[in-house]
Amino acid sequence: MGSGTVFEDENGASPLADTVVASKRISIFGLGYVGAVSLACLARDGHRVIGVDIDPVKLALIRDRKSPILEEGIQELMRDVVNSGRVTVTADAAAAMRETELSFVCVGTPSAANGSQDLTAILRLAEQIGAALALKDGFHTIVIRSTVQPGTVEDKIEPILERASGKKAGVDFGVCFQPEFLREGSSIRDYDHPPYTIVGANCEASVDQVRALFRHLDTRFLVTSIRVAETLKMACNAFHALKITFANEIGRVSQSMGIDAHEVMRLVCADKRLNISPAYLKPGFAFGGSCLPKDLRALTNIAKQNDIELPMLSSLLISNRVHIDHAVDRILKLGRPKVGMLGLSFKTGTDDLRESPLVLVAKRLLGEGCELRIFDPEVQLSRLLGANRSYIDANIPHLGSLLCGSIEEMINPSDVILVGLQQSALNDALQVHVQPGQFVLDLVNLPNRDLLRCRYEGICW
Ligand SMILES: NC(=O)c1ccc[n+]([C@@H]2O[C@H](COP(=O)([O-])OP(=O)(O)OC[C@H]3O[C@@H](n4cnc5c(N)ncnc54)[C@H](O)[C@@H]3O)[C@@H](O)[C@H]2O)c1
C-alpha cells in the first residue's frame, strides 16, 4: 500500500463485520499498545480503520498481518482484521484524515526529565491533524485517548487544531477526551469489558459518534467535562499506585512480625462496606478521632522497631496535618478575622474531641490571635469526661468561654464561618442567618450551598 492510499485491501464483507450495524471510517494515530489494540478491536467490530504511525517497522508488521505489540490474542486478531480488508496503515496523516470521519489519538506522552509530561508528539500531531482538517469538508471528530495532564486538550490541543485548520472546535470539528483503561497483558479483554466508557466533551455531535462506537459494550456510558475526564485518568492511575503501595507496605510490616500478609490483605478486601467501597473517598476535611491517628502511629512505630521503612503509611499523618494547615492558612489570608466554627468534635453526631482536626484548627486560630466562637450541638463542657476532657483541657483550656448556645450566636458576629458539621437543621440555619458580607469556608461539602447568600469556598473543591 502506498503511504497516501487507504482501504486499498478492501475485499468485501467478512464474517467479522456482520455484528456491526453502522460501520464508521476511523483513523488511529499511534500504533503502540493502546492504538494497536483499538485498531484491531474496532476493525473486529466491523469498522474500517486506518492506522497511522511514524515508525515504519510497526506499519510493515501490520501490513504483514502481524501485531507490533505482544498481547494475549492480538496476533490472531490482527491477522484476521487485516485479512478482512478493513485495516490499512500509513505514515500519511493527511491521507488518513481525508478518508475518515473520526480519529483516535493514541501517541505516547512519556515523562520528561523533570517529571512533567512530554507533549511533543501529541502537539506536533495536532498541527498535522489541523492542517489536514483545513483541506477537509464535513464534520470530523478527534478523540484524544493518550493520557494527558488536565487542561491539555482545551488549552493546548484545541487551539492548535483551530489555528492550523482555520476552523472552529465544536462547530466544524469536535474534540473529546476518552481515557483508556486497558491494562497491558489483558488489553483485548479490558477493551471489551471496561469499568465504564467515559467521554469528556463539550460537543454533543462528537459524544454521539463515540457512543455509537461503544454502544455494544455491556457497561455504562458516561459523559463529563474534558478537564474532569483528563483528571480522572490521572486519579485512577494514582489510586492504583496507592493501592499497590498500601498492600506492599502492609505486607512488609506484617512479614516483619511473622504474620501472614496475604491473609491480612484478603480480609481487608473482604470488607466491602468500609474498605473496598466509596467510603472515605470523598474530598473533605482531615481525619482525626481516637483511633485513626493513634493506630497509624502505632503501626509505623512497629515498623521502625523492626527496621522496616513505610514511607507511604508514615506520610499519612503529615499529609493530614498539611490539610489542617491549609484550612487555617486560608482563613489567615483574610487577615485576623473573627471566626465562627460550626462543629468541634471529630465527626458529626459525636462529642468525641480527641484528636479532632477541628480542635487543632481552633487552637491554631487562637494562637494567631483570631477571635473565635464555636457552636457544636453535641459538645457540652459539663458532659465531657475522662480522656475526652483531658484532651480539650490540654489544647483549649478556656473552651467554655468560646462555646455558643445557638448557631445564630456563633454566626452573627463572625467574618468567616468554618463549617465542619453537617445536619439538615444546621444547613437550613446557615441559609437563614449567614449574611452577604460573610464568608463560608466549607469542610463538609454542604448541600444547597448555592442558596447561601455569601461568598463560599470549599476546602479542596
Ligand atoms: N500502555 C497502556 O497500557 C496504556 C493504558 C492507558 C493509557 N495509555 C496512554 O496511551 C498513550 C499511548 O500509550 P502506548 O503505551 O500505546 O504508547 P506507545 O509508546 O506504545 O505507542 C505510541 C506510538 O505513537 C507513535 N507516534 C509518535 N508520534 C506519532 C505521530 N506524530 N503520528 C503517529 N504516530 C506517532 C509512536 O511511534 C508509537 O508507536 C499514552 O499517553 C499512555 O499514557 C497507555
Closest approach atom of ligand 1 to CA 93 = 32
C-alpha of residue 108 to centroid of ligand 1, in Å: 3
Tell me which of 291, 370, 404, 454 is the catalytic residue. Answer: 291
Strands (E), 154-257: 173-177, 197-201, 221-224
Counting from 1 in the atom list of ligand 1, the atom nearest the Cα of 58 is 39
Grid cell, residue 7, equals 482501504
Report yes or no: 109 and 147 within 8 Å, Cβ to Cβ: yes
Show Cβ contacts of residue 203 under 8 Å, excluding neighbours closer than 6 positions. Answer: 141, 169, 170, 174, 175, 176
Give the residues across from 131 on adjacent strands. Answer: none
C-alpha cell, 147? 493520557
pLDDT tens for each residue of the chain, 461 residues long: 333 333 333 333 333 444 445 899 999 999 999 999 999 999 999 999 999 999 999 999 999 999 999 989 999 999 999 999 999 999 999 999 999 999 999 999 999 999 999 999 999 999 999 999 999 999 999 999 999 999 999 999 999 999 999 999 999 999 999 999 999 999 999 999 999 999 999 999 999 999 999 999 999 999 999 999 999 999 999 999 999 999 999 999 999 999 999 999 999 999 999 999 999 999 999 999 989 999 999 999 999 999 999 999 999 999 999 999 999 999 999 999 999 999 999 988 899 999 999 999 999 999 999 999 999 999 988 888 998 899 999 999 999 999 999 999 999 999 999 999 999 999 999 999 999 999 999 999 999 899 999 999 999 99
Q: Which is the closest atom of ligand 1 to the Cα of 180?
A: 6
Chain-centroid distance of CA 114 in Å reads: 22
| Binding site membership of 104 for ligand 1 (Cβ less than 6 Å) | no
pLDDT by residue (tens digit) across 148-191? 999 999 999 999 999 999 999 999 999 999 999 999 999 999 99
Instruction: Name, in order, each residue with C-beta under 8 angstroms of 403's C-beta and a sequence gap of 6 or more.
Output: 374, 375, 376, 379, 380, 381
Q: Is 126 in the pocket of ligand 1 (CB under 6 A)?
A: no
Nearest of 188, 184, 181 to residue 77 by alpha carbon: 188
- Residue 29 CA to ligand 1 centre (angstroms): 9
| Distance from Cα 454 to the centre of ligand 1, integer Å | 47
β-partners of residue 339 are 372, 416
pTM: 0.92
Please report the atom of ligand 1 found closest to the CA of residue 182: 5
Name the nearest CA neighbour of 47 among 21, 65, 67, 12.
21
Answer yes or no: 291 catalytic.
yes
Task: Give me ligand 1 centre to Cα 31, in Å.
Answer: 7
Choosing from 55, 89, 103, 107 the residue with most ligand 1 atoms within 8 A of its CB, the one to mutate for a pocket test is 107
Provide CB contacts within 8 A for 33, sequence distance 6+.
69, 71, 182, 184, 187
Q: Is 47:10 a contact under the CB 8 Å cutoff?
A: no
Choose the residue to mutate in 52, 71, 106 for probing ligand 1, maximizing ligand atoms within 8 Å of C-beta: 106
Mutation test of ligand 1: which of 53, 105, 178, 186 has the most ligand atoms closer than 8 Å to its C-beta? 53
